[in-house]
Amino acid sequence: MSQRFAFQWRRLDPIAPWLLAAAVLWLCWQIAAVIWLIAAPPQPPYARDIALTQQQQAATPNISGFSLFKVERAELPDRQQPSAMSVPMQLQGVMISRPMSGSSAVI
């Protein structure tokens, strides 16, 4: 092999300590990740079933008069109220998901 194309390792001497420190830090990081996988393995998320009873439904607060931005609403006379307000409705349950388009409610 000719001397002209030979790689000279002496050029790496100034950065060798930095390369060694980076390699040691990476190795410590990987060892810590393996230890955490052994000590506390990841658990899959699970949904808990919650059975609603009559007592729990009665304990649900009435939020129909709640106003997020404290807007004062004037009471409408009986002739101006929409007909949908006269239909008795009761919220039975809510299913929240991401994205929000998958959320639903049981009325």
pLDDT confidence of residue 49:
75
pLDDT confidence of residue 17:
94
Question: Across the strands, what pairs with 95?
Answer: 104
Q: What is the pLDDT of residues 86-105, one digit of tens each?
A: 667 788 888 887 777 778 88
Its pTM stands at: 0.37
Q: What is the pLDDT of residues 29-81, one digit of tens each?
A: 999 999 999 999 988 888 777 776 665 555 556 666 666 565 565 665 555 55
Rounded CA gap, 26 and 18, in Å?
Answer: 12
Torsion sign over Cα 20, 26, 29, 30? negative
Q: What is the mean pLDDT of residues 12-19?
A: 91
